[in-house]
Amino acid sequence: MAALEEEFTLSSVVLSAGPEGLLGVEQSDKTDQFLVTDSGRTVILYKVSDQKPLGSWSVKQGQIITCPAVCNFQTREYIVVHDNKVLRIWNNEDVNLDKVFKATLSAEVYRILSVQGTEPLVLFKEGAVRGLEALLADPQQKIETVISDEEVIHGNYFAYVQMFNSRILTKYTLLLGQDENSVIESFTASVDRKFISLMSLSSDGCIYETLIPIRPTDPEKNQTLVRSLLLKAVVSGNTRNGVALTALDQDHIAVLGSPQAASKECLSVWNIKFQTLQTSKELPQGTSGQLWYYGENLFMLHGKSLTVIPYKCEVSSLAGALGKLKHGQDPGTHVMPRFVNWETPQGCGLGFQNSEQSRRILRRRKIEVSLQPEVPPSKQLLSTIMEDSEKHIEVEVRKFLALKQTPDFHTVIGDTVTGLLERCKAEPSFYPRNCLVQLIQTHVLSYSLCPDLMEIALIKKDVQLLQLCLQQFPDIPESVTCACLKIFLSIGDDSLQETDVSMESVFDYSNSVHDEKMEEQTEILQNGFSPEEDKCSNCDQELNKKPQDETKESTSCPVVPKRAALLNAILHSAYSETFLLPHLKDIPAQHITLFLKYLYFLYLKCSENATMTLPGIHPPTLNQIMDWICLLLDANFTVVVMMPEAKRLLINLYKLVKSQISVYSELNKIEVSFRELQKLNQEKNNRGLYSIEVLELF
């Protein structure tokens, strides 16, 4: 459960905020003090509990601060950059920035990064990073270019991870997924032991997450990362002053912007583990689209004043996320104020706790936590799938799959799928489709290991998952293959448009070139051979009478491309003719006719080139096409032959078979000649240096 407390103004003085707001708010060496840098010439040190400034420093007229001031926690000094290259260092005792330490650098600075316990790092605009001490030892040292101008021009998104101690720089290309036109408007990152979680707020109003490994497998190689949807429709796409995003803890994020159903800007806190909105607060005076977070305080410009909104986030639980936790606070008790009212005598209304006792409790808790054995990732994953939300399970599965494979990897994948399917049966609304897709793509599973997987996919009519199983599983029973075929043939075209199936086995039928003779042909051409002795005169008369639209039908694909991709998966599947034929008889006749038309269309496409193959990455072969035509006719001929709409198709298939017989007959004749040539070639080795040979073929 998360809550936003009453806001208060940190400074009633109007700050010099430019069109893009303030330059930044940074933590000082004391937890209650913060450095605020405006977009002009001034840095102000505030004490939040007093709601008053403790000091103010400005650069001289004509200069402009270009980088937010930060605190060097090791020396308790402040650092700021003005005019892009001039670095200043001072402390609380200094009054005039023009008289403090100054260093002019050789490249423009983008930001100074400073955290507790480490040396400040200087990030340059071209992507290079330097430690402060090494930079001050030689301010005019050459700074290399990490981000090239080409990357800026192309507008792609890249993430650079630099291990500063080992000097390892890894570049990642961020793929935006299906919505490639969206623009990243704000982002935030958090780090655990194995991953950097990069969360981005895009122009479509959705929040996405990208997991970046801290220790890449190949640091020298440019690697690609795909982002996944974390929260949908969080803010509106037409926010006037921009949006902002920041992570509060492992399960909560704060978002600044206009929600979908409102025109006013507001601050909202979301639980990303359970996909719920925890709390929100309207900001009627508008903001600059900037948000800073330190400790338990959120900083922003509300109107023209710097505003602080305290918040609290409890341990994430499903009951708390849904607002069902019972708060056992007595009506008579008073909530302790977060900030001291100095007009109230000390001890009145304020609880007192022994600080030494609290430190002992804190130390004891830390020791207990450190003594607990680390739970293996596999056990964490198996415990997660039984109780957490689909989105959280998807994140944990991606984390597990990103790890290096362990000896029990195959076992864990099988147990994970089994656990997910058991929960699917127990909870009909639970269907972690994305997780199942990721697990199938590990190439570890088979039908015999998880037979319930395809059963549930058939019930859900999830054609994408069924297609993936047909491509990955080598041991699918013929009954299940026919069940998939029924769904692929019966599902509507509108439903198919909303699915995301693999199209690698389908080529662009609309761009295929058809010869006029091909469109007007009344006979099947096989490798340029046209049988002259065609005794089926009645068939010719039937075909010559066909209208023009039916002529086009024979050379255009009878199914949409996505249905063609699904049917191609059936053609590639393994089967036994003995076990497959009985199940093919259960398919409706109109669906059998549609499948035969598609197979006949594929045969015509094969006949267009000498190699008798189809274009594409993994298209059906001619043998697969012919085998399935025979299977369908063997199982359903007595039914199909009685259908008037199948008459022309059967005539075409008859002529197809007749032409094949003629081709093989001619090949048999040529075979005799080749045998004679082979004999002569063998006898040639036994002859002398010179001979005259006469060979009569016919």
pLDDT tens track for 576-614: 888 999 999 889 988 988 998 899 888 888 878 767 778
Between 2 and 395, whose confidence is greater? 395
Residue 68 has pLDDT above 80, yes or no: yes
pLDDT, residue 675, reads 81
Mean pLDDT on 48-73: 91
pLDDT, residue 366, reads 45
CA-based torsion, 430, 433, 434, 436: positive or negative:
positive
Alpha carbon distance 678, 672 (integer Å)? 10
Residue 184 has pLDDT above 60, yes or no: yes
Query: Among the listed ranges 86-90, 390-394, 515-519, 578-582, which one has the minimum average pLDDT value?
Result: 515-519
The pLDDT-based confidence of 132 (bands split at 50, 70, 90) is very high
Question: Six-digit token pair at 132?
Answer: 């402060």
The pLDDT-based confidence of 237 (bands split at 50, 70, 90) is low
DSSP 75: T
pLDDT, residue 335, reads 38
pLDDT, residue 455, reads 93
Q: What is the DSSP string of 151-199?
A: HHHHT--EEEEEETTTTEEEEEEEE-TT-TT--EEEEEEEE-SSEEEEE
Question: What is the β-pairing status of strands 101-104 and 109-113?
Answer: unpaired
CA-based torsion, 403, 404, 405, 408: positive or negative:
negative
Residue 465 has pLDDT above 50, yes or no: yes
- The hierarchical CATH code for the domain 15-137 is 2.130.10.10
Alpha carbon distance 399, 213 (integer Å)? 9
Q: The sheet that has 33-37: what strands, in order across it? A: 24-27, 33-37, 42-47, 52-58
Q: Helices H, strands E: what count in the chain? A: 20, 27
SS3 388: coil
Query: Among the listed ranges 20-24, 67-71, 76-80, 433-437, which one has the minimum average pLDDT value?
Result: 20-24
The pLDDT-based confidence of 1 (bands split at 50, 70, 90) is low
Alpha carbon distance 550, 445 (integer Å)? 45
pLDDT, residue 150, reads 66
Alpha carbon distance 212, 315 (integer Å)? 25
pLDDT, residue 73, reads 92
Query: Among the listed ranges 14-18, 80-84, 382-386, 436-440, which one has the minimum average pLDDT value?
Result: 14-18
SS3 378: helix
Question: Six-digit token pair at 13?
Answer: 């003085």
Residue 275 has pLDDT above 90, yes or no: no
Size of the chain, expressed as the number of residues it contains: 698
Q: Are 637 and 643 in contact (CB under 8 A)?
A: no
Residue 507 has pLDDT above 60, yes or no: yes
Mean pLDDT on 39-46: 89
| Highest-confidence segment of 429-433, 527-531, 549-553 | 429-433
pLDDT, residue 175, reads 80
Alpha carbon distance 36, 29 (integer Å)? 14
| Highest-confidence segment of 136-140, 319-323, 618-622 | 136-140
* Exposed e or buried b per residue across 364-399, where buried means at least 16 C-beta atoms within 10 angstroms of its C-beta: eeeeeeeeeeeeeebeebbebbeebbbbbbbbbbbb
The single residue listed with the structure tokens 């020396």 is 75
pTM reported for the whole predicted model: 0.52
pLDDT tens track for 299-344: 988 887 888 999 887 765 555 555 433 333 444 434 343 333 333 3
The pLDDT-based confidence of 524 (bands split at 50, 70, 90) is very low
Alpha carbon distance 531, 694 (integer Å)? 31
Between 540 and 303, whose confidence is greater? 303
Query: Among the listed ranges 44-58, 78-92, 532-546, which one has the minimum average pLDDT value?
Result: 532-546
User: What stretch of H or E contains 681?
Assistant: helix 647-684
Question: Six-digit token pair at 295?
Answer: 């400790």
pLDDT, residue 651, reads 86
Q: What is the CA radius of gyration of the chain?
A: 36
Which of 85, 88, 81 lies closest to 102, judged by CA? 88
pLDDT, residue 20, reads 64
Mean pLDDT on 261-275: 80
Residue 80 has pLDDT above 60, yes or no: yes
Q: How far is CA 450 from CA 65, 95, 317, 446, 453, in A?
A: 62, 73, 31, 7, 6
The pLDDT-based confidence of 405 (bands split at 50, 70, 90) is low
Mean pLDDT on 675-697: 68
| Highest-confidence segment of 501-510, 539-548, 552-561, 657-666 | 657-666
Q: Are 214 and 164 in contact (CB under 8 A)?
A: no
The single residue listed with the structure tokens 């006898």 is 683
Residue 540 has pLDDT above 70, yes or no: no
Residue 109 has pLDDT above 50, yes or no: yes
Mean pLDDT on 665-672: 84
Q: The sheet that has 228-231: what strands, in order across it? A: 184-191, 195-202, 207-213, 228-231
pLDDT tens track for 363-384: 444 444 444 445 555 677 777 7
Q: What's the longest Cα–Cα distance across the chain? A: 129
Alpha carbon distance 586, 407 (integer Å)? 44
The single residue listed with the structure tokens 């197809």 is 656
Q: What one-letter code names the amino acid at 262?
A: A
Query: What are the extents of the domains in the chain?
Result: 15-137, 169-317, 377-476, 561-660
